[in-house]
Structure 1
Amino acid sequence: MEELVVYILYSEKFDKNYTGFTSNLIERFKSHNELGIKGYTLKFRPWKVIHVEFFDLKSEAMKREKFLKTGSGRKFIKILFKNNS
């Protein structure tokens, strides 16, 4: 069974967050920081991973990612980041 990861990236240089999910965090992180040639994350490099959550089901990971992109989810991220800095 494939394990899925919901992740939150942070760009300290631009004070931006990015939330996504993947089945291969290492490759996805490389894509955000080095390999990608288009998309939102390109403009705000470099990124660091500030939070990860693991899921067995794609539907659960997608639901969590969607929540983290809501107002309540953004508040959670702000609190999380404040506690980890």
Structure 2
Amino acid sequence: MYLLELIKHSYFCKLHRLLNITKSNVDYNGVYHGKYLCFEAKSTKSLTLPWNNFKKYQLEYLENAFYLNAISFVIIYFSQHNAFFLEPV
């Protein structure tokens, strides 16, 4: 079991270097059924969510992860409607 964890750790360290992580990146990144998963979560009290609520590096991270075959998406919560939306990258 330890060897498997070591291999996963090594793989994800390489993935993080490929994604050029220098800042705090997105709200979550991890593994789901053996596949890298990352997402950013935002909430708003208004009816829309302006793009400037996202940092450029967050969107770039999600896009780069997607191109490296990761599961990447944005979760948006609209409090006026008490509704969550999942938007794939």
Shorter-normalised TM range? under 0.3
Which structure features the higher share of strand residues? 2
Rg larger in 1 or in 2? 2
Which structure features the higher share of helix residues? 1
Calculate the TM-score normalised by the size of structure 1: 0.22
Greater RCO (Cα-Cα under 8 Å, separation 6 or more): 1
Calculate the TM-score normalised by the size of structure 2: 0.21
